[in-house]
Amino acid sequence: MNRSKETYDRYMVGERIQKRRQSLGMSQEVLAERMDRATKYCSDIERGICGMSVETMLAFAEHLDMSLDYMMYGIKPSEEEENPEADTTTDS
């Protein structure tokens, strides 16, 4: 998928993480413990104060059961299916 129009916005990423965590009824402390991260670090990510490593992104995605596309860009799986890009590859 072409990401040229989307940009990484750590404040929006943090907001999506926070909303998902809250919708699951999970506290920051519980999520941080499950991810083996400090609670303050998870809080800072949710507030957009700091970025995160690939490993931490994957841990959030796993423990919150959310796709990386949604976490990073706000793209829900159904949106990708509705707007598929043309496959420009050919088998020669």
Tokens of 60: 């959030």
Write out 58-86 in H/E/C secondary structure: HHHHHHHCCCHHHHHHCCCHHHHHHCCCC
Q: How far apart are CA 31 and CA 61, in angstroms?
A: 11
Q: Residue 90: what pLDDT?
A: 45
Nearest Cα residue to 46 out of 6, 8, 19: 19
| pTM of the full structure | 0.78
- Per-residue pLDDT of the chain (92 residues), as tens digits, is 454 456 889 999 999 999 999 999 999 999 999 999 999 999 999 999 999 999 999 999 999 999 999 999 998 877 555 554 544 444 44
